[in-house]
Structure 1
């Protein structure tokens, strides 16, 4: 079981609330996802995003895509190859799990480069997954740059969960990232407070982005959420409210609006076990003419097709 490949990015504490985050696909005109799994743990993932823009009076189309190939070998290890259209290449090796002092530890290594092979990022790391605690550590080595140590902890005890992640420049002892999350979930309510720092080296702690989120679960099919966010030391908070409704086993609809009066809507429909279609759009309610026919599409809309085999 390749546990290191199931993690979110190591510098992330995740998004506990998906009402305001997932399925809003209006940022790109079209998105295609293809996933295939083999019986022995092999996987193929392909994702392509198509965006459009007006350039010199003509329609310009841009495609960003990436492909991932994952397969096990020697029964214990897993190898993954990733490449993006931008030229990024990543080779990831999951070295399996080892029992140390009666606890299971997962080890991994990966290399990031590009098609020119001009720069390499080497990473070595370990993961520990306990019944109530998850701990992840990674050392990143870049020839010519200072080594960086990243560590993350996530703990859940009853209704309370909290976590933290930091990245430390081992040469200057400057923090590159210092994030924290604290949350409470019980019954029909969930609330959490999250801090996300800047990604630049800093000599002293600074206020980054603070996000407070509250969710109310009206029933098994309906969720309501409120998010308040403030960036930097100035008190200039923004807010977003949203709702999600599972209409039936195949259809889910959701919407959100923020303090800038940007209304986002999304609908996700499972055609069958293999195909899922998501459509979304955004309306700038404060604009007198939210529809601009000089652009294509005239509204920020997006379509996403997911295929699973």
Structure 2
């Protein structure tokens, strides 16, 4: 703590607030230093000697640190890792924000800035380290479940926690669920924990994500319910000798391409949760594309679950197979 020597009014604790208000009203407060209590007295820094019946002394008081700048940038905290989502923020401001994040979230050990959107067959974003030790593997807890993951090697969004709960709440007893793009398992494992009688087939192509999926199944003790498959859904799903009551398709930029494959594994009355990246007002055109795949699909509900940019969103379509 830095100290600064200067003048201060010394008053008893009982009269400190009244004295502070009086000095502030006269414009005499020295705001470069902080008010300090010492025993039964309070020292109020002033800019010059005052003749108001107060005792004025020369004393060292803590220097008032400048207020932190206001940032509008959004960030996510995943376990011990924080991610600044604003890719346009310059490095200097991003690092200042990282310091504020670490001061606010004591468990955060690494702060990253996203520098590239989720892309490629592995579905991973690009990051740079802003602060901390640079370790990107962490343990994240959500809705009574625990997930081990590396945010730099797998796709994971804590912003979908409410959506995962919404889907899990719809699952009925003894359902068979297909999670076509399971990631590290947040949909599959939550459903298994909430509905012990369900069976979930979890498919994931990203090798790192699949390794974490296997580990997370054990961590959450759902080995009997969640059956993992490491590989491309386009190759694995056709080989599954099973029909499903519910299909989760959380691959927003490519999910429509896999819709015919999902339909081939659905029983009549099955529900498909289809996640699509689209323009903010683009649901009508997307719905037309969905109906062109199979006219017998009924739309139970649609909603925006995540904003990507001012123009783009991720929307879920809850579809019922007629």
Structure 1 length-normalised TM = 0.27
More helix per residue = 2
Structure 2 length-normalised TM = 0.26
More strand per residue = 1
- Structure with higher Rg: it is 2
